[in-house]
Chains A and B, each alone.
Chain A
Amino acid sequence: MKHLFDRLLEAKERLAPVQSQYRVLFEDPSQPDDCACVLIPDPNWMAAALAGGVLPPIETYIRDREVEEFFNASQAHLWPNFRQSFRWSEHGGASHAYAEPIGPMTEEEAIEYLIKKDIPPRVWRDYRGNRCIMKIVPVELIPPDRTFRGAWKVAQDNQLLEEAA
């Protein structure tokens, strides 16, 4: 099995980039005072997701993140200069690198995959509050005017989403 890095090199050579029509708007419950974040899918990654045969199963990324977070948490109490940096070679290697690639996804499935990969689980899995803190929205619903970007929050009604649909 080729390393994921090599599969990405090949995919970039043969696949045309695909700009996603979606963005993921989310708030981090661990940072309640921060503004909402926007996840922007990469066009080359999206092309690989839609084509299939490149990306590993999402479970491998989730497992790898837990390994790294556990290690970093074990170092957190140390002074910064005494903390060890995480190295995959000391933890048996990243499981997503050589995992069997999965088949093609739809754009909607690719966005759900990306949420699990690039947004912390405390947002999409562990949050138990009443507020809606994450939405998948069409790109045209993201305001192009960033004057008040620092005050963005996830809207609690779905009026704009319903109108867009």
Chain B
Amino acid sequence: MSTLVVTTVQSPGGTVPTETLRRGSSKAWVNFNGTGTVAIRDSFNTSSITDGGIGIYTENFTAAMATANFAVSGHATAPIVSPNGVFSGGDADTKTTSGVLIRTGSTSPSNTHQDSAQISMVVMS
């Protein structure tokens, strides 16, 4: 493997500090199956997930985030029992620099936790 050591990257439109590229990249992501025997398909910077019950999961990071003020985005395919898949976060106490709790569910017929076969989440900080 070769290593490039540069402080800026130049394009026709100008230069970008490599630190900016680093800060703009995803710091952790995971894609897993939340149905049947829960298993992780692929990930980065994830040491494990904790299955806390129907539609409740915690992603645990290998390298902690610099601050607990990171952003989380996610996607969950529609659960089998409902056409409306929903991805949401937990309360503030479940978000630390080393992990974040997320919930998946459906809005129909009412707001309930549901498992999903394809759950993806991305963490930016």
User: Residues of A at under 8 Å CB distance from B?
Assistant: 3-5, 8-10, 12-14, 17, 19, 34-35, 37-45, 48, 55, 61, 64-65, 68, 72, 80, 83, 85-89, 94, 96-97, 114, 117-119, 139, 142, 144-146, 149-150, 152
Least CB distance from B31 to A in Å reads 11
Q: Is the CB of A146 within 8 A of B98?
A: no
Contact of B63 among A12, A38, A41, A97 (CB under 8 A): A97
**Contacts A94-B64, A118-B48, A118-B50 given; does A40 touch B39 at CB 8 Å:** yes
A5 to B62, CA, bound (A): 8
1/0 per residue, CB under 8 A from A, across B47-62: the answer is 1111111100000101
A78 to B66, CA, bound (A): 23
Least CB distance from B76 to A in Å reads 15
Contact of A68 among B27, B43, B47, B97 (CB under 8 A): B97
Interface size on B, residues (CB 8 A): 38
**Contacts A5-B27, A12-B44, A40-B49 given; does A117 touch B96 at CB 8 Å:** no
Contacts of A48 on B, CB cut-off 8 Å? 62
A17 to B42, CA, bound (A): 8
User: Residues of B at under 8 Å CB distance from A?
Assistant: 1, 27, 30, 32, 35-40, 42-54, 60, 62-64, 66-69, 92-93, 96-99, 115
Contacts of A5 on B, CB cut-off 8 Å? 27, 45, 63
Q: Is the CB of B46 within 8 A of A45?
A: yes
Q: Is the CB of B45 within 8 A of A13?
A: no
Contacts of A118 on B, CB cut-off 8 Å? 47-48, 50, 60, 99
A139 to B3, CA, bound (A): 40
Contact of A142 among B30, B37, B43, B44 (CB under 8 A): B37
Q: Is the CB of B50 within 8 A of A39?
A: yes
B35, B42, B45, B115: most-surrounded residue (chain A CB, <10 A): B45
